[in-house]
């Protein structure tokens, strides 16, 4: 008879076995990926696997055969060959030879993986709790990439989308047929930038720059998804990596668009913004970028994340408030948002904080105030 716990456990296991979702990504083998390097890694894995399989078949075959053929009931007598020099030499030499043979393809693949020389594009990747920053060195293009999955999906108030927790607001974009080097670092704790299809998984360590690279073959344009692969705090599961590979032509067009958007944004910041416009944008920025720590209604969270509703800073001196949001509070989870948000977004979110949730200061902070504060 099964005990109650046993019954419960077995019905849970049965439920898991028959459920569709268990099999959704059912795949036994390693993915082959899309790059030459990921293919070499896959080939190496298969080669070593088959070597192991054949050694296993051989060793167990001989063993079972001998046990059966020379069993005691047939009157077999154990033979004694202690200190047989030939045998000892053989069982040392053969495995050594096999190991050396395996080391050759393994080293060749490793050398290929680590050779990031002659890259045509350098992208600096910085991990933050909990987002990535992509800086296209020498191109004047730099942006943050945040999780785009809504809180409602996460908290089951809405059905989960197809790319649940694997979607971002701004993707990294790279061209195909070009060697792209990644310079990977972190601004706070250890993260790890991982895209399985590229066979790239590199730790992002504060104070160090690790290198990796990818060359997505022409014809393999598309979207590649990954995640942070290093436990980096409570929202570790909420910092996906999304890379869009474009043809070289489209990549150039994308770069131009990014630069044009930046110019347009700077021009827009000089324009006039009404209180209502700022409050609307501010509410969006707040929900997306601040509510995770400060609460949906500025109520704060626990003892570490202060409430902004009625906070001395949010209803006090405007310049001090702007300073906290622009430069953060060193040594705390409050990051510097100066580089993460545009002038308009910063003005909007600060205006919002000063007037939402009964903060009612009546203050309007304009993008021009932010531009001045940046100086």
Q: Which is nearer to Cu ion, 191 or 202 (CB)?
A: 191
Neighbour tally for 208: CB within 10 Å? 11
On the 0-12 / 13-18 / 19+ scale of CB atoms within 10 A, 360 is exposed
Q: Could you say which of 329, 358, 372, 374 contacts ligand HEC (CB under 6 A)?
A: 329
How long, in residues, is the chain? 375
Task: Assess whether the previous peptide bond of 215 is cis (omega < 30° from 0).
Answer: no
User: What Rg, from alpha-carbon coordinates, does the chain have?
Assistant: 29
Give the β-pairing of 121-128 and 180-186: parallel
Q: Kindly tell me which residue out of 11, 66, 332, 360 binds ligand HEC, with binding defined by CB under 6 A.
A: 332
Number of residues this chain uses to bind ligand HEC (CB under 6 A) = 23
Query: Could you say whether residue 195 binds ligand HEC (CB under 6 A)?
Result: no
Under the binding rule (CB under 6 A), the answer on residue 344 touching ligand HEC is no
- Choose the binding region for ligand HEC from 144-152, 238-246, 255-263, 310-318 (rule: CB under 6 A): 310-318
Question: By CB under 5 A, which span of 62-70, 220-228, 274-282, 330-338 interacts with Cu ion?
Answer: 220-228
With beta carbons less than 8 A apart as the criterion, state whether 327 and 250 touch. Answer: no
Q: For Cu ion, which is the closer residue by CB, 177 or 292?
A: 292
- Helix and strand numbers (H, E) in the chain are 12, 10
C-beta of 232: minimal distance to Cu ion in Å? 3
Tokens in use for 346? 């910063």
228 is a site residue for Cu ion (CB under 5 A): yes
- Which residues in the 247-306 window bind ligand HEC by CB under 6 A? 289-290, 292-294, 304-306
> Which tokens belong to 175?
């061209």
232 binds Cu ion (CB under 5 A): yes
What does the alpha-carbon distance between residue 263 and residue 282 come to, in Å, rounded to a whole number?
21
For residue 64, give the H/E element and its range: helix 36-69
Range in contact with ligand HEC (rule: CB under 6 A) among 93-101, 247-255, 266-274, 307-315 = 307-315
The residues that bridge with 206 in the sheet, in sequence order, are 186
Partner interacting with residue 198 (select from Cu ion, ligand HEC, none; CB below 5-8 Å by kind): none
Helix (H) or strand (E) segment spanning residue 317? none
The secondary structure element, H or E, covering residue 246 is: strand 240-246
Among 313, 326, 368, 371, binds ligand HEC (CB under 6 A): 313
Task: State which of positions 191-210 bind Cu ion (CB under 5 A).
Answer: 191
349 binds, among Cu ion, ligand HEC, none (CB under 5 to 8 A by kind): ligand HEC
Residues that bind ligand HEC (CB under 6 A): 289-290, 292-294, 304-306, 308, 311-314, 321, 324-325, 329, 332-334, 337, 349, 353
């Amino acid at each position: 008879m099964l005990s109650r716990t046993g019954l419960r456990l077995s019905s849970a296991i049965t439920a898991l076995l028959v459920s569709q979702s268990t099999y959704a990504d059912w795949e036994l083998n390693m993915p082959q990926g899309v790059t030459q390097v990921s293919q070499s890694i896959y080939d190496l894995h298969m080669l070593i696997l088959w070597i192991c399989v054949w050694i296993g078949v051989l060793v167990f075959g001989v063993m079972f055969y001998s046990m059966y053929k020379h069993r005691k009931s047939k009157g077999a007598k154990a033979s004694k060959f202690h200190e047989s020099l030939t045998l000892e030499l053989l069982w040392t030499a053969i495995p050594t030879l096999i190991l050396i043979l395996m080391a050759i393809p393994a080293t060749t693949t490793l050398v290929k993986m680590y050779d990031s020389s002659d890259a045509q594009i350098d992208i600096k990747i910085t991990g933050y709790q909990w987002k990535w920053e992509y800086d296209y060195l020498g191109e004047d293009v730099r942006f943050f990439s945040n999780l785009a999955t809504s809180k409602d999906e996460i908290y089951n108030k809405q059905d989960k989308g197809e790319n649940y927790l694997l979607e971002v607001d701004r993707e990294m974009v790279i061209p195909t047929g070009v060697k792209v080097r990644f310079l990977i670092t972190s601004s706070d704790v250890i993260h790890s930038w991982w895209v399985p299809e590229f066979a790239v998984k590199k730790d992002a360590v504060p104070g160090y720059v690790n290198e990796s690279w990818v060359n997505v073959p022409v014809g393999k344009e598309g979207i590649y998804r990954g995640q942070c692969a290093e436990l980096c705090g409570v929202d570790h599961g909420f910092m996906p990596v999304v890379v869009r590979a474009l043809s070289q032509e489209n990549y150039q067009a994308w770069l131009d668009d990014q630069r044009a958007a930046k110019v347009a944004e700077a021009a827009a910041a000089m324009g006039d913004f009404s209180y209502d416009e700022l409050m609307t944008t501010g509410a969006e920025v707040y929900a997306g970028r601040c509510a995770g720590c400060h609460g949906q209604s500025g109520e704060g969270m626990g003892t570490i994340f202060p409430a902004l509703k009625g906070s001395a800073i949010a209803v006090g001196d405007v310049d001090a408030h702007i300073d906290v949001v622009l430069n953060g509070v060193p040594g705390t989870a409050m990051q510097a948002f100066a580089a993460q948000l545009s002038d308009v977004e910063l003005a909007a979110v600060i205006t919002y904080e000063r007037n939402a949730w009964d903060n009612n200061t009546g203050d309007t902070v304009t993008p021009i105030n932010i531009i001045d504060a940046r100086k």
